[in-house]
């Protein structure tokens, strides 16, 4: 089996996201975008130096987007389907 961007890996964070429905996944993406915006704004204003938190949020957002794209292409099962 060839590994691709949508292959399953041992990642608990991604596994939690896989169990979400499409609407919950969209809500999660919106929430992550809001958090990222706030942290970037705080960073520019000099109120925080939490670069690790920004990196983690960007990774989580990428996971959500990857799962959403995989579901759109039919490569990733929806949250209600079981393999």
Say if 37 falls within a structural domain: yes
pLDDT of residue 1: 43
Which positions of the chain have pLDDT values less than 70?
1-11, 79-83
pLDDT tens column, 61-72? 999 999 989 888
In terms of residue numbers, what domain contains 32?
A: 21-73
- 78 domain residue, yes or no: no
CATH number of the domain that residue 37 is part of: 1.10.287
3-class DSSP string for 37-82 = HHHHHHHHHCCCCCHHHHHHHHHHHHHHHHHHHHHHHCCCCCCCCC
């Amino acid at each position: 089996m060839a590994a691709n961007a949508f292959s399953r890996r041992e990642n608990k964070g991604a596994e939690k996201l896989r169990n979400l429905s499409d609407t919950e996944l969209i809500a999660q993406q919106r929430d992550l975008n809001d958090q990222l915006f706030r942290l970037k704004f705080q960073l520019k204003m000099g109120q925080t130096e939490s670069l690790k938190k920004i990196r983690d949020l960007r990774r989580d957002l990428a996971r959500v987007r990857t799962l959403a794209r995989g579901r759109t292409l039919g490569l990733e099962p929806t949250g209600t389907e079981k393999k």
